Amino acid sequence: MTEITCKLLVIGAGPGGYVCAIRAGQLGIDTVIVESTKLGGSCLNVGCIPSKAMIHVAEEFEKAAEAAAGKTPFGLTAAEPKLDLKQAVAWKDGIVQRLNNGVAGLLRKAKVKIVHGKARFRDGKTVVVETETGPKTIQAEAIVIATGSAPVELPFLPFGGNVISSTGALALTEVPKRLVVVGGGYIGLELGTAFAKLGAKVSVVEAQDKILPLYDAELTGPISKRLTALGVEVLLGAKALGPTPKGDGLRIETADGKERSLPADRILVTVGRKPVTDGLGLENLVLDMDGRFIRIGERCETAMRGIYAIGDVTGEPMLAHRAMAQGEMVAEIVAGLPRAWDKRGIAAICFTDPEIVSVGLSPDEAKRAGHELKIGQFPFAANGRAMTRHGEAGFVRVVAQAGSELVLGIQAVGQGVSELSAAFGLAIEMGATLQDIAGTIHAHPTLGEAFPEAAMKALGHALHI
């Protein structure tokens, strides 16, 4: 059995793991990273990147279809579009491969040793990795668990056949004529919207009484309207029961307690994600757990000295950029640097149509925390850039303390607002006040102008509404 010793071992080469390893390598730490599948993890290979690629394909197809139907308000017409989904998937896979190669190159540049195989803890300092050439034993002074998450499978709707996860949806080579999405969260709505634009008849089954349950009705309202315009059937308060007897659809219980069958060529199950810990040997460690997730402290430390956990394996929010920030921090802590981080500046984004961005506290969250508030909201219907390109639906909203005018949260809904997340996050991170935002000159004409206008609205003197 091959034996390897190192100062830092990272298990999992997703966004959190590979960033942790790269930063550690930059700091001169002898680092090994273990990955059982492809570098980049779920985000790069079957999540964030490929889903955004397919969302872009759907947006371009919809634009072409609108032009062919003479529905563009500015007079553009075109021939009826045709989509080769196999070619689109190949294009998406090409992007993923380039990014895979990029991650590998960055790890090599940082002098990180890459081991491909399945890792299992023997004890708090020792991991055995099953590789193609046999087992390797790795002993490390510090270990980072960054194994990520996987789609939750429902017992009565196991993956296989016409029941697919988000991974399966991104690998389809034909657009299903009828798609039923189980789960009205961001993954289900992102993919369901994309397939609706590509021509599928889409139904969304959500057990709660609203879509995107983590966001308030003001933010989700424009998305509900857009789903209706796309012909997407949204069934709220409905429960999936299982496949139809012939396997050609989904049986559900509607909000009024009646049973109904929804015809479906494919059933996409998006009801959450679970931590990837099976076979990792956690039973050989003494860790505190939050259900199936690993409990961590403010610096991502676990209950065992020298063992850290980052990313999805530690629970919500399951965001790649959160994992990256955690990975960078842990590498610097292992190097002996004083580091901490503040989760208040993490942006959450739904790449729906329109998009949602939220950083910090929502109005309801701020009120529950006991804050007296000043809230300013500016509509994109009064923003020139939105009117000429992005679409007028949506707004930017700023939530601040009434007395100090310290900004507690920023939210937006609208086409293209994901690109405003950097400004929103920076404002929270830097402790901006309403006056700071209102006094910063924002370029014209841009969507970003809605940000200071919302702050000025909270101050009582918006200029353009």
Dump pLDDT digits (tens) for 321-330.
Answer: 999 999 999 9
Question: From start to end of 132-222, where are the E strands?
Answer: 134-145, 149-151, 163-164, 178-182, 201-206
Query: What is the C-alpha separation between 103 and 229, in angstroms, rounded?
Result: 40
| pLDDT in the model for residue 342 | 85
In angstroms, the CA 217 to CA 236 distance is 14
Structure confidence at residue 135 (pLDDT): 95
Q: Which residues are catalytic?
A: 444
Strands 113-116, 178-182: pairing kind: unpaired
CA pair distance 53, 91, nearest whole angstrom: 9
Structure token digits, residue 330? 């842990």
Percent of the chain with pLDDT strictly greater than 90: 97
Token pair for 329: 């921090």
Torsion of CA 17, 23, 25, 31, to 10 degrees: -30
Look at residue 246 and tell me whether its pLDDT is greater than 80: yes
Pairing relation of β-strands 289-290 and 118-123? Answer: unpaired
- State the pLDDT at residue 343: 87
d(CA 218, CA 448): 20
Statement: residue 390 has pLDDT above 80 = no
**Closest by CA position to 331, among listed 108, 113, 9:** 9
Mean pLDDT within 285-314? 97
pLDDT computed for residue 444 by the predictor: 97
Instruction: Provide the pLDDT confidence category of residue 367 given band limits of 50, 70 and 90.
Output: very high
The alpha-helical segments, DSSP class H, found in 69-134 are: 85-109
Domains and CATH numbers, the chain: 2-49+88-151+274-341 (3.50.50.60), 163-271 (3.50.50.60), 345-459 (3.30.390.30)
pTM: 0.95
Task: Judge contact between 322 and 312, C-beta under 8 A.
Answer: no
13: its two tokens? 């080469």
Rg of the chain in Å (alpha carbons): 24
